[in-house]
Amino acid sequence: MQRLKTALVCMGLAGASLPVHAADFTDPEWPCIQRKVETLSMGLMWPHGVESPTLDGALAQDVADLGTALSLRRVDMAQAEQLVAEFVASHGRDPAMMTAVFERVFDRLAQRRSRIISGIGDYSLSQIALAERIESARTEMDSLMQGTDPDYDRVDALEEQVDWDERIYTDRQRSLTYVCETPVLLEQRLYAISKLLQAALAG
Q: What is the pLDDT of residue 125?
A: 87
* % of residues, the chain, pLDDT over 90: 44
Distance CA 141, CA 157 (A): 10
* HEC readout, the chain: CHHHHHHHHHHHHHCCCCCCCCCCCCCCCCCCCCCCCCCCCHHHCCCCCCCCCCCCHHHHHHHHHHHHHHCCCCCCHHHHHHHHHHHHHHHCCCHHHHHHHHHHHHHHHHHHHHHHHHHHHHHHHHHHHHHHHHHHHHHHHHHHHCCCCCCHHHHHHHHHHHHHHHHHHHHHHHHHHHHHHHHHHHHHHHHHHHHHHHHHHHC
The model's confidence at residue 11, banded by pLDDT at 50, 70 and 90, is very low
pLDDT bucket at 82, cuts 50 / 70 / 90: very high
The segment with the largest mean pLDDT, out of 9-13, 116-120, 172-176, 195-199, is: 195-199
Closest to 125 measured CA to CA, from 30, 36, 35, 4: 30
